[in-house]
Structure 1
Amino acid sequence: MGHPHKALRTSTTGAVSAALLAGTAFGLAPAAPAAATEASSAPGIRFVDIRGDGGTVLKANVVTPAGAGGSSRYPVVVLPTSWATPQVEYLAQATKLAGSGYVVVTYNVRGFWQSGGNIEVAGPPDIADARKVVDWALANTPADPSRVGMAGMSYAAGISLLAAAHDDRIKAVAALSGWADLTDSIYSGRTQHLQAAGLLVGTGHLTGRPGPELQQFTKDFLGSNLDKEDEMIAWGDKRSPSAHVDRFNRNGTAVMLGNAWGDTIFPPNQYAEFYERLTVPKRLEFRPGDHATAEATGLLGLPNDTWTSTRRWLDHHLKGTDNGVDREPPVRIKSRSGGPYETYPDWKSVGADARKVALGGTKTIHANIDSGANGGIVMLSNVLDQFVKLPPVASIPLLPRRYAAVWQSERHGAPQRIRGTAKLHTTITSTKESGTLVAYLYDVGPLGLGKLVSHAPYTFHDRTPGKPFPVDLELFSTAYDVPAGHRLTLVVDTVDPLYIEHNPSGAQLTFSSPATDPSYMSVPLREQ
């Protein structure tokens, strides 16, 4: 079972990716060739039905290299579709892969669109389906059984990782904007991620058929049925690749993980933790953006860093191409503030220069009222940050101290770089047995306007009213540059539209810093 402060979440490419897919469907559908010579030199595309687990029909397309035939064998890449997306999702990338010598099979996962079955949220039937698709590819295409890979975005990333853990024929995986720990993704800090879960449930009902297990989970999760908490955590853990690290390490599967700093579906922390536990060939890449937005333009066949890295990874581990990917530093990140890529030998090195900021004094806040400090809107706020450098903001001087506890650092004379995971340690006394708090780290300029650097929620239950208890909370990992003359500010309140809160009416929270256990904020900070 996972950590009690974890929960689960499914996956989706979200509204942005869905819109891009619509363009893909119209812009890349096979058309009549201009000349016979063009058609003969282009990869072949055909649509097929594949029998998945229990005979469930999976709608699929197969793209093969031009002129494939005879005794030639090619590496094969299997691409499951993302949550709520049709089977043409990867047609642009599949065509590029086939053009460079791959057989590519992409299929609509069960429960969505025209594929049969119900949505199982990467459960055992989905893993069995992926293995059946590999079987079909080896039997019906010129695929080489010794060179099998899987890749995909979001839901496809999770299914690809789980399939690789259960099938040692899969030699390489590129998992983009996915999850390693499904529980920690939408129940981090023991707090339900309301907007993320709502988006997933809504798009699932719109484009698919949620199965009975998913429907019951949704009812318990969104209804805050704490009597079923252990069952919900177990449901998520069963669908978490992080529970199978030993299988990956035993199989030697080459694993590439890519995600966005602001992913509101699958925050980056759980990928980084999973990455550190792997002993196989591995690569970790973090970029600005929200869920699947870092790689979304690649669905239209446009130049895209994430898909370029994916092809390099597959080329090396499936085709044996000496492209240097095995000799490069395996951790590659890009700051939300701009600038070139940075490379590191491992994840620990990213945030190696942590500094502690003391959180002195005693502060009491009233619960149930939104102070104005918020984490933004799912699939919107971090896209704005990605493209126009506009994260969620708050006027720190105007935040009502009755509902928000505020601590500020000294102004920094030189520019500072935040890389990695900030952590909060404090002592809380509550007037009620349950409660929710949300911690926000802001970059505050001379006029008091704070730009959100990171945040995270935390919920507690069954505490004795009036009795202090310690809290340790990891904020979502990030890379952000703080200008000279700015200061860092920690804000804690009790309400955020992103999350379900558990504050009884009239509750108050007191934050203190005992001499024997001082409160602090640890920030991975260094001068530029």
Structure 2
Amino acid sequence: MGNHRKALRTTTVGAVSATLIAGSVLGFAPTAQAASNDVRFVDITGDGGTVLKGNVVTPSGADGTRRYPLLVLPTSWGLPQVEYLAQAQKLADSGYVVVTYNVRGFWQSGGQIEVAGPPDIADASRVIDWALANTPSDARHIGMAGVSYGAGISLLAAAHDKRIKAVASLSGWADLIDSIYSQRTQHVQAGALLDGAGTLTGRPSPEVQQVFKDFFASNLAKEPDLIAWGRKRSPATYIDEFNKNGTALLLANAWGDTIFPPNQYVDFYEKLTGPKRLELRPGDHATAELTGLFGLPNDVWTDTERWMDHYLKGEDNGIDREQPVELKPRSSGGYEGYPDWKSVGATQRKIDLAGTTTIHANVDSGADGGVIFLSSILDQIAQVPPIASIPLLPRRYAAVWQSPRYAAAQHIRGTAKLHTTLTPTKESGTLVAYLYDVGPLGLGKLVSNAPYTWHGLTPGKPFGVDLELFSTAYDVPAGHRLAMVVDTVDPLYIEHNPSGAQLTFSSPAEDPSYVSVPLREQ
């Protein structure tokens, strides 16, 4: 397993390098256009005297006689400060002072990578202080926005700084632990990508280096420390502060985000009581926002500007009267609006997982969640998710249940849930559940998946498993069926099955096993 992880991380660093080269092109491409509009590159003193490299774009003709709403944009993980120049120019043209800055520890900014720790949150407030003192910005109308790392920092900053009235969090996280350590399972490709990009473009702090080391080593003794570390960096921890402040929060993410899956955003959204909007679209991490960073038309950035126009400028553009939950299904073109998340999958249809099935662990059956970025991008562009031949999956290593064929299309919306009884032969283990759309020839297209890990249980003693799959919006054509597949190995995750382990799934009469599928009401 150690050699496997080392190879994976080496491969991932190569992928990171290619991504960053593309990101640099992405970031620098709009520079020539923006530079003609008096972009200032500045040094901003952050927390503890750390120098943060930033740039400022002001509205054309600003002469200091009037004040403008301020938007602060922290950079994404591993990208330079020019990342947002195209959008900064557009926002400045519409009447904002825009300050973007490279977060500490990356590129030319000072300090070390803290993964949205207290110094990063303090930095955001220092950037606001600097902008109020050095630009024609209005202290009464301050917002923050960002993609990925910038999204998480923006949310955390708003929880700690009441001056921030509105946030657009794009492809960010609400719960860091639930994102990359869901159900006690390390999302190894996601972790390797973050670790590799941080090492390649920045200076991880000793604490961050130790966290990644413990994460990849599956150090259970350090698990409480890892969870505490992640909770401090999770906006969901500060839900009371958001609700007390009444911050207007726009949360946008992709169905196939392999860094920050949508479930944790949804749970956070449901607990908010202030102005809020949730948008979910096809794609992977930060791919839905990508064209907007080139200055091209983009739904995510359009709604970000509309959100800020209403909550910072006071414009009556109607965004507050629209349905607050906006979904774009993976398999159709139009948006769907809902009054709240519970209305998304209002109908539940159960598939019975009858009988008793035993599988052997430690072998990949051929059912898997794909490859980080690549698989969900293919799904976004060509509607080609990971595919498996369901009839050919080896039943020695994969448990398979199928529904009858559906006479009418099934519009899956929301979070499918697996409930089963499991009897393991070892005290620890991992299973991965997959929901497939199976066509007439038996080829299954991946609808959703999720991992589940346990430790310290009694071998041979059955226990209940309740697992939420990653939320999605997918249309199953008429004449197809759904299949639930469970195996024990997936390249996306670290598995914890000892050699020779077997898993037995049963469906006791007093507690039947099933998968509950959320469907849109017709």
TM class by shorter chain equals over 0.9
Structure 2: how far apart are the matches of 1:527 and 1:411?
19
Superposition map of 1:36-435 within 5 A: 43-435=37-429
Q: Report the number of matched residues.
A: 509
Where does residue 5 of structure 2 map in the other structure?
none
Cross-structure match for 2:447: 453
**Do the aligned partners of residues 150 and 55 (structure 1) sit closer, same or farther apart at CA in structure 2, a change above 3 Å counting?**
same
Letter in 2 for 1:494: T
Give the TM-score taking structure 2 as reference length. 0.96
Conserved? CA contact 2:430–2:488, under 8 Å: yes
Rounded to whole Å, the distance in 1 between the matches of 2:289 and 2:305 is: 13
Runs of 4+ in 1 over 3 A off after TM superposition: 12-21, 30-33
Tell me, in whole angstroms, the C-alpha distance in 2 between the residues paired with 1:79 and 1:70.
22
- Conserved in 2, the CA contact under 8 Å of 1:414 and 1:527? no
C-alpha displacement of 1:187: 0.4
Task: Show CA shifts across 1:485-506 (max 9, x none).
Answer: 0000000000000000000000
**Deviation for aligned residue 1:189:** 1.3
Once the two structures are superposed, what CA deviation does each residue of 1:286-330 show, in whole Å capped at 9, x if it has no partner? 000000000111000000000000000000000111000011110
- Does structure 1 conserve the Cα–Cα contact (< 8 Å) formed by 2:448 and 2:472? yes
* Matched position secondary structure for 2:451: strand
Q: Which residue number corresponds to residue 21 of structure 1? A: 23
TM-score, with normalisation over the residues of structure 1? 0.95
Tell me, yes or no, if the aligned pair for 2:24 and 2:80 is still in contact at 8 Å: no
CA contact 1:81–1:87 (8 Å) conserved in 2: yes
Equivalent-residue separation in structure 1 for 2:298 and 2:135 (angstroms):
28
CA distance in 2, matches of 1:139, 1:163: 19
Q: Distance in 1 between matches of 2:388 and 2:23?
A: 34
Aligned sequence identity (%): 74
Superposed CA deviations along residues 84-105 of structure 1, whole A, max 9, x for unmatched, are 0000000000000000000000
Question: Which 5+ residue runs of structure 1 have no aligned equivalent?
Answer: 1-11, 34-38
Q: How far 1:348 sits from its partner (Å)?
A: 0.9
- Measured after TM superposition, the shift of residue 526 of structure 1 is 4.6
Question: Quick one: distance in 1 between partners of 2:60 and 2:161?
Answer: 29
- Contact 1:430/1:509 (8 A) holds in 2: yes
State how far apart, in whole Å, the 2-side matches of 1:380 and 1:182 are: 22
1:70, 1:393 → 2: CA distance?
A: 59
Determine helix, strand or coil for the equivalent of 2:249: strand
Question: What is the rounded CA distance, in whole Å, between the counterparts of 1:307 and 1:20 in structure 2?
Answer: 20
Tell me by how many angstroms 1:509 deviates.
Answer: 0.2
**Structure 2: how far apart are the matches of 1:527 and 1:321?**
34
**CA 1:467–1:25: 2 relative to 1, 3 Å:** closer
| Deviation at residue 516 of structure 1 after TM alignment | 1.1
One-letter amino acid of the counterpart of residue 27, structure 1: A
In 2, Cα distance between equivalents of 1:523 and 1:14: 35
Which whole-Å deviations, capped at 9, do the CAs of 1:44-63 have from their partners, x for residues lacking one?
31000000000000000000
Structure 2 letter corresponding to 1:45:
V
Deviations 1:21-56 (A, max 9, x none): 3333443224799xxxxx6xxx43100000000000
Distance in 2, matches of 1:527 and 1:59, equals: 50
Unaligned runs of 5+ in 2: 1-12
CA 431–171 in structure 1, closer or farther in 2 if over 3 Å, else same: same
Output one character per residue of 1:449-472: Cα deviation in whole Å (capped at 9) or x when no partner: 000000000000111000000000
CA distance in 1, matches of 2:293, 2:106: 19
Q: Distance in 2 between matches of 1:304 and 1:262?
A: 18
Shift of 1:525: 2.3
Q: Which moved more, 1:247-256 or 1:20-29?
A: 20-29
- Structure 1 counterpart of 2:329, which letter? S
- What displacement does 1:366 show? 0.2
Judged with a 3 Å threshold, the aligned counterparts in structure 2 of structure 1 residues 285 and 20 are, in CA distance, closer, same or farther, namely farther
Paired with 1:31 and 1:464, the residues of 2 have a C-alpha distance of: 64
Task: Give distance in 1, aligned partners of 2:314 and 2:28.
Answer: 35
1:185-233 CA-to-partner distances (Å, cap 9, x unmatched) read: 0001110000000011001100000101100101111000000101000
8 Å contact from structure 2 (residues 184, 454) kept in 1: yes
**What's 2:487 paired with?**
493
Whole-Å Cα distance in 1 between the matches of residues 17 and 321 of structure 2? 37
Question: Partner of 1:262: helix, strand, or coil?
Answer: coil
**1:14 deviation in Å?**
6.6
Contact 1:17 1:292 in 2 (8 A): no
CA distance in 2, matches of 1:249, 1:239: 18
Displacement, 1:430? 0.4
Q: Deviations over 1:386-430 (max 9, x none)?
A: 001100000000000000000000000111100000000000000
Paired with 2:102 and 2:480, the residues of 1 have a C-alpha distance of: 49
Mapped to 2, the partners of 1:81 and 1:16 lie a distance apart of 18
Query: Any idea what the Cα deviations from partners look like across 1:164-193, whole Å, max 9, x if unmatched?
Result: 000000000000000000010000111000
Q: Distance in 2 between matches of 1:184 and 1:485?
A: 36
AA partner of residue 234 (structure 1):
A
Structure 1 CA distance, aligned partners of 2:374 and 2:228? 31
Equivalent pair of 1:65/1:101 in contact (CA under 8 Å) = yes
Distance 2:153 2:316 in 1: 28
- Matching residue of 2:10: none
Whole-angstrom CA distance in 1 between matches of 2:520 and 2:167: 34
Structure 2 vs 1, CA of residues 505 and 476 (structure 1 numbering), >3 Å: closer, same or farther?
Answer: same
Residue 138 of structure 1: CA displacement?
0.5
The answer to whether the Cα contact below 8 Å between 1:21 and 1:299 also exists between their aligned partners in 2 is: no
Post-superposition offset of 1:69: 1.5
Q: Counterpart of 1:482?
A: 476
Matches of 2:455 and 2:385 in 1, distance apart?
Answer: 31
Retained in 2: the 8 A contact 1:80–1:160?
yes
